[in-house]
Structure 1
Amino acid sequence: MSIEGMRNLCFSPKSSSSSSFSTSHFPSPFRFGSRPSFSESITDKTLETAEPMIMKWNPDSTTIAKVTSLFYENRKEAWDFIKAVNNLQKAMHLVAGDSNSEKLTRCQMLMQIAMKRLQKEFYQILSINRAHLDPESVSTRSSFISTRSSTSDYDDEDDDKIVIESISEVEDASSVAMTDLKLIAECMISSGYAKECMKIYKIIRKSIVDEGIYRLGVEKFSASQIHKMNWNALDLRINHWINAVKIAVKTLFNGERILCDHVFACSDSIRESCFTEISKDGAMILFGFPENVMKNSKKSPDKLFRVLDMYTGISNHWPEIDFIFSFDSTASVKSQALTSLVRLGEYVRTALNEFESTIQKDSSKSPVVGAGIHHLTIDVMNYLSILADYSTILSDILAESPQHQKNSLPEKSLFGFSDAEESPMPAISLKVAWLILVLLCKLDIKAEYYKDISFSYLFLANNLQYIVARVRTSNLKYLLGEEWLSKHESKVKLFSSTYERLGWGHVIDSLPKNPTVGTSPDKIKEVFKKFSSSFDQAYQKYSMCIIPDRELLDDIKTSIGEKIAPVYREFYNAHSAMVRRKRNLTCMIKFAPEDVENHLSNLFFWNN
């Protein structure tokens, strides 16, 4: 709409029906001869003061009144103008009993001119101060503005002076504009021109809110548009929405609510009507977007974190949403926000179940080279580590799960928790522990793909150690606790010791329990031969294995080394003289003590 069209819309002449006053209930004033009554005297004095000022600013009479703003030209005179209009309104009530009164006609004529002037001023202040009255400025400057409910507080000229000086010293352009708008609105409403005031306000402010929503990247999409979007396009829209919701709630809608409450402080019904019409459409688009996405996009566990971000966007700002849209007429906005929360929560619970199913369905059967970390372990723990960052939101979502789903989980002891704990475990803790248990069961199956059982246990030790380390270095530790960590660290030690027994037991057993006790040359020959063969075999077998965790690597190497190197050195030193005397035994000794230590030190060298 053009500016001229807007002006014609906002400043159309007041109809006779809206400007007339019912006088049936006003008694005729008493008259004593030709002497003016008290009412007439007051009216005369009011007209004497008000008429010159109102006519001076008649937008249809003088050039200066057409092009100049009263409130920008002289703020003191503007406040006097408002006072004159209020006094004129009171005078009209005094003479309202005489419908043929010339004074009443003059008052009505002046009132129409004054209202036309104030409509123009109201429109100009809203238009010119779009930048100063942007929601961000309003929301950060709201604390200073007075909430005085009527202009009667300004009847005393000294009060006027104090207030004006206070404004000039403290308030900025935003606050000045808000104060002027409130003053005009109260005057127009009390004079019976509420509809005209509201009309101007709604048109201008709604355009600002709608433009703000659009600039934040939030658009209204149909169900088919959402359904046809690929994930990259939809993810971009979701990202815009996540960034927009915080600004929209804390700044856009909050600022509009503050401005509306201030300007129309004198009327609860008017401020509700204005705020609802200004904000409702934009708010419904904003809070309806998540529900639209949930209903019309393809479900996937990969989208879970975006969904949690959207849930957080509404949940974290719910107190503000609840306050800003507290009117009965904006209840549908809160209902839409809650509906989106419900839909998002349902998606999260479904996605977690699908994620569990994805773990169970992993069909890879090729053993991991070097008995290292399986890609499934890495993927699941990355997923759960990020999930733990949303623990507060997830606790709320999972707490709303149907009771039969909660009761379907096994005893807590299977998760790594103690059944003796008195306090119930949070739903998110149980869910995470259960998903890790599902992963561990899957890893047990994958461990069976190794032909050598010692590799199976090294594989289990590596993967469980990775899981424990990720738990301890992420927010998962707060969900699972020290007891869970302690139990699973014990399992890592059990797996690693079993690997050691199966993989290196025959090497350890090849050495005598008492290496310094004298024995026959043939026995010495047999020990050296058996040890050399078993040690070389074990070293060749496991030198290509991988133990990515430094702590687990050191523990395994130290444990194996302590059981082999010192015993072999003692045996070697005890029988070195005999070896030197029996040349035919020299070929049986493949490793010197230093060689054994160096080999053990270089074991699992792929980690270096």
Structure 2
Amino acid sequence: MDGGRGSGGTPRRSSCSENDVHAAIPRLEEELRFVLENCSNDIDVESLVDLRSLSAPSSMSMGDESGCSPGDETGGGGDFNADSSPSLATAAEEAEGAGSTSSRSSYRFTRNIRVVDLLPPDAVEDLRGIVERMFAAGQGWECARAYGAARQEAVELCLTRLGVGRLEIGDVERLEWDVLEANIRRWIRAARVCVRVVFASERRLCQLVFDGHPDDAPFTEAVKSAALQLFDFAEAVSTSCRSPEKLFKMLDLHDAMADLLPDIADVFQCCPSSEPIYTQAADILPKLTEAIREIISEFETAVLLDPPKTPVPGGNLHPLTRYVMNYLGLISDYEPALVELIATSPSARSQFSDNDPAAAAAAQIAVPKPENQTPLAAHLTWIIAALHHNLENKANLYKDDALSHLFFMNNLHYIVRKVQSSPELSAMISDEYLRRMKRIYRQLGRGYQRAAWARILHCLRDEGMHVGGKLSSGVSMSTVRDRFRAFNAAFEEVHRTQAMWVVPDAYLREELRISISEMLVPAYRGFLGRYRQHVENGRHPGTYIKYSVDDLELALSDLFEGSPSSANNRRRFR
């Protein structure tokens, strides 16, 4: 029997060596975890959230284009050398050479990607040695698992410091809107830091530590949990219930994801095990696009069908009018993004089924379709037309025709003024449509004057003032007195009532007062000149002639203020 061999024919020296190596594996794993947990640089992620350098549009891709292998570098710093500060904020702000290729890095740095040293160079060297020994012993999987578990804690700590918690779709649905809005705002800032600094730096560290071992499992194990938690929130928001107030944060989220996606691809897509992370992130964009389109469509329907309830006091602006026009102004601020997202123009046939209650109302809406009008501009025009239609129904709530006209005029004038005051909106709403709305609100102004003042002007007519109805006959004193009494009563009633009515636009208010004055004052002056002598020659003339022409003009300045106080203070009786 050969004393130099074991029973299996294997040399005893080799067997002992293998046993020694396997026995050392737990100690190597412990050393690996110790270095990762105790030698990591303290990264100040909170100071990065508002850096403009992380919010710049992507311009270049990150890939192994420098011609240098990961083994050419001993630190994980990319553009930053081994002696640089561990603070991410400091590193990012010092990266003035963005866009250039580091002479030692496998990354091609852009204005977006910022890689920093997560471990000092000597710790990286120690880890390389541990990794080499574990892989040589056939313990590559255990090595990757131990490395991933240790780095996962550090990555998740960064997420916690950035204020990103784990929220599922149900959690998102239950959040109050102001809380969700704050979370989205915080998420956008955190996502830029995570993708462009934290995840990119983790990938670079993994390349350095596992140099020569192309398996990317350690990197995936390190960042997968945090990355999925990060993107799960954006996905939950994209599938949450649609409501108009969510549109603009949805757009912010869409813009942020579209801006980040090339960097997400650079970090994750080139690695087979981490590519599903990129796929999940890429799938969020079409979901956000669909959500944005649905919100706009549902907003159109809501504007069209907002039920008429109680008339607004004094014919003032309806809250719906203010809300819709302010909403459209905000939409126009997002025109560059929305022009790309809104691909089809609105139509009653495509939006509503035949039995939909909105279908009949939508069928009554006709809007001009200028050449080269974008689908977004068509949607905004349609929303204004739907608002116009709804306001017409709300105007019918008023029992007083004059107040109905005033209300409708106020609201249409406000719509036109809001469009004209916004360069973005006025560029999308056709001049033809605005001219049509101007014609309508001017017609409404004339309709208001007829309804409100015809009865008063009727008191100032000459018909019936003479005895027997003949001009050659003398003036009937009783008729003259009756006419002055009727005029006073009618004017005081209109004055008292319409001082409480409201025309919120100062220019329109003054224009309307002037128009009334030009119609009423000459008629009253002429009537007073023709008949005052017949009253003043009789008893108690002040009982019949209460107003001078100046008094009348002064009283008209009280109209449409929405307050009764000025009526008693300004009116003077003779």
Residue 497 of structure 1, aligned match among 446, 452, 468: 446
Aligned partner of 1:209 in structure 2 is: 155
Letter in 1 for 2:437: H
1:288-437 matches, within 5 Å, as: 288-292=232-236, 295=239, 298-301=241-244, 303-327=246-270, 328-399=272-343, 405=350, 414-415=366-367, 417=368, 419=369, 421-425=370-374, 427-437=375-385
Letter in 2 for 1:207: E
Letter in 2 for 1:522: V
RMSD of aligned residue pairs (Cα, Å) = 5.1
Are 1:249 and 1:321, in contact at CA under 8 Å, matched by a contact in 2? Answer: no
Residue 555 of structure 1, aligned match among 511, 516, 519: 511
TM-fit CA distance, 1:597: 1.1
Letter in 1 for 2:226: G
Are 1:325 and 1:333, in contact at CA under 8 Å, matched by a contact in 2? Answer: yes
Aligned partner of 1:546 in structure 2 is: 502
TM-fit CA distance, 1:511: 5.2
Are 1:511 and 1:531, in contact at CA under 8 Å, matched by a contact in 2? Answer: yes
The more displaced of 549-558 and 427-436 is 427-436
Paired with 1:237 and 1:578, the residues of 2 have a C-alpha distance of: 76
Paired with 2:193 and 2:73, the residues of 1 have a C-alpha distance of: 32
Does 2:84 correspond to 1:171?
Answer: yes
The more displaced of 334-343 and 268-277 is 268-277
1:24-63 matches, within 5 Å, as: none
Are 2:32 and 2:130, in contact at CA under 8 Å, matched by a contact in 1? Answer: no
Paired with 2:211 and 2:452, the residues of 1 have a C-alpha distance of: 85
Partner secondary structure for residue 329 of structure 1: coil
Are 2:206 and 2:218, in contact at CA under 8 Å, matched by a contact in 1? Answer: no
TM-fit CA distance, 1:293: 5.2
Deviations 1:86-140 (A, max 9, x none): xxxxxxxxxxxxxx9x9x9xx99xx99x999998887555333434356679999
Are 1:385 and 1:474, in contact at CA under 8 Å, matched by a contact in 2? Answer: yes
Paired with 1:407 and 1:356, the residues of 2 have a C-alpha distance of: 11
Are 2:254 and 2:288, in contact at CA under 8 Å, matched by a contact in 1? Answer: yes
Letter in 1 for 2:498: Y
Letter in 1 for 2:158: G
TM-fit CA distance, 1:218: 4.2
TM-score w.r.t. structure 1 length?
Answer: 0.63
| Distance of aligned partners of 1:359 and 1:259 in 2 relative to their CA distance in 1, 3 Å threshold | closer
Are 2:206 and 2:219, in contact at CA under 8 Å, matched by a contact in 1? Answer: no
Aligned partner of 1:132 in structure 2 is: 42
Residue 603 of structure 1, aligned match among 550, 559, 565: 559
TM-fit CA distance, 1:253: 5.7
TM-fit CA distance, 1:497: 2.4
Are 2:244 and 2:299, in contact at CA under 8 Å, matched by a contact in 1? Answer: yes
1:567-578 matches, within 5 Å, as: 568-569=524-525, 572=528
| Distance of aligned partners of 1:239 and 1:172 in 2 relative to their CA distance in 1, 3 Å threshold | closer
TM-fit CA distance, 1:320: 2.9
Alignment identity in percent?
Answer: 27
| Distance of aligned partners of 1:256 and 1:286 in 2 relative to their CA distance in 1, 3 Å threshold | closer
Paired with 1:399 and 1:480, the residues of 2 have a C-alpha distance of: 15
Letter in 2 for 1:542: Q
Partner secondary structure for residue 475 of structure 2: helix
Does 2:468 correspond to 1:522?
Answer: no
Partner secondary structure for residue 562 of structure 2: helix
Deviations 1:209-258 (A, max 9, x none): 223334545455566x549x6343x8646643541243133346633313
The more displaced of 525-534 and 462-471 is 525-534
Are 2:460 and 2:524, in contact at CA under 8 Å, matched by a contact in 1? Answer: yes
TM-fit CA distance, 1:288: 2.4
Are 2:321 and 2:387, in contact at CA under 8 Å, matched by a contact in 1? Answer: yes
TM-fit CA distance, 1:286: 2.1
Does 2:401 correspond to 1:488?
Answer: no
| Distance of aligned partners of 1:124 and 1:472 in 2 relative to their CA distance in 1, 3 Å threshold | farther
Aligned partner of 1:465 in structure 2 is: 413
Paired with 2:70 and 2:281, the residues of 1 have a C-alpha distance of: 36
Partner secondary structure for residue 603 of structure 1: coil
TM-fit CA distance, 1:308: 4.2
Letter in 2 for 1:430: A
Paired with 2:135 and 2:337, the residues of 1 have a C-alpha distance of: 49
| Distance of aligned partners of 1:215 and 1:563 in 2 relative to their CA distance in 1, 3 Å threshold | same
| Distance of aligned partners of 1:501 and 1:137 in 2 relative to their CA distance in 1, 3 Å threshold | closer
TM-score w.r.t. structure 2 length?
Answer: 0.66
Deviations 1:245-277 (A, max 9, x none): 431333466333134325625858647433322
Partner secondary structure for residue 325 of structure 1: helix
- Point out where structure 2 has 5 or more consecutive residues left out of the alignment: 1-10, 55-61, 75-79, 88-115, 354-358, 463-470, 567-574
Does 2:393 correspond to 1:445?
Answer: yes
Paired with 1:153 and 1:280, the residues of 2 have a C-alpha distance of: 25
| Distance of aligned partners of 1:564 and 1:579 in 2 relative to their CA distance in 1, 3 Å threshold | same
Aligned partner of 2:189 in structure 1 is: 246
Paired with 2:321 and 2:286, the residues of 1 have a C-alpha distance of: 31
1:108-123 matches, within 5 Å, as: none
Are 1:388 and 1:475, in contact at CA under 8 Å, matched by a contact in 2? Answer: no
Are 1:321 and 1:334, in contact at CA under 8 Å, matched by a contact in 2? Answer: yes
Aligned partner of 1:90 in structure 2 is: none
Paired with 2:453 and 2:352, the residues of 1 have a C-alpha distance of: 45
Are 1:210 and 1:282, in contact at CA under 8 Å, matched by a contact in 2? Answer: yes
TM-fit CA distance, 1:569: 3.9
TM-fit CA distance, 1:600: 0.4
Partner secondary structure for residue 300 of structure 2: helix
| Distance of aligned partners of 1:486 and 1:434 in 2 relative to their CA distance in 1, 3 Å threshold | same
1:33-112 matches, within 5 Å, as: none
Aligned partner of 1:477 in structure 2 is: 425
Are 2:257 and 2:285, in contact at CA under 8 Å, matched by a contact in 1? Answer: yes
Paired with 2:438 and 2:122, the residues of 1 have a C-alpha distance of: 70
Are 1:388 and 1:479, in contact at CA under 8 Å, matched by a contact in 2? Answer: no
The more displaced of 250-259 and 400-409 is 400-409
Structure with larger Rg: 1
Are 1:261 and 1:271, in contact at CA under 8 Å, matched by a contact in 2? Answer: no
Are 1:460 and 1:495, in contact at CA under 8 Å, matched by a contact in 2? Answer: yes
1:224-303 matches, within 5 Å, as: 225-226=170-171, 230-232=174-176, 236=179, 239-251=182-194, 254-261=197-204, 264=207, 267=211, 270=214, 272-292=216-236, 295=239, 298-301=241-244, 303=246
Partner secondary structure for residue 317 of structure 1: helix
Are 1:242 and 1:313, in contact at CA under 8 Å, matched by a contact in 2? Answer: no
Are 2:28 and 2:134, in contact at CA under 8 Å, matched by a contact in 1? Answer: no
| Distance of aligned partners of 1:210 and 1:475 in 2 relative to their CA distance in 1, 3 Å threshold | farther
Deviations 1:293-327 (A, max 9, x none): 555x5554455455445434423433333333232
Paired with 1:322 and 1:567, the residues of 2 have a C-alpha distance of: 79
Are 2:532 and 2:545, in contact at CA under 8 Å, matched by a contact in 1? Answer: no
Give the number of equivalent residue pairs.
Answer: 480
Partner secondary structure for residue 399 of structure 1: coil
Are 2:70 and 2:207, in contact at CA under 8 Å, matched by a contact in 1? Answer: no
Paired with 2:258 and 2:519, the residues of 1 have a C-alpha distance of: 58
| Distance of aligned partners of 1:386 and 1:520 in 2 relative to their CA distance in 1, 3 Å threshold | farther
- Looking at secondary structure, tell me which structure has more helix per residue: 1
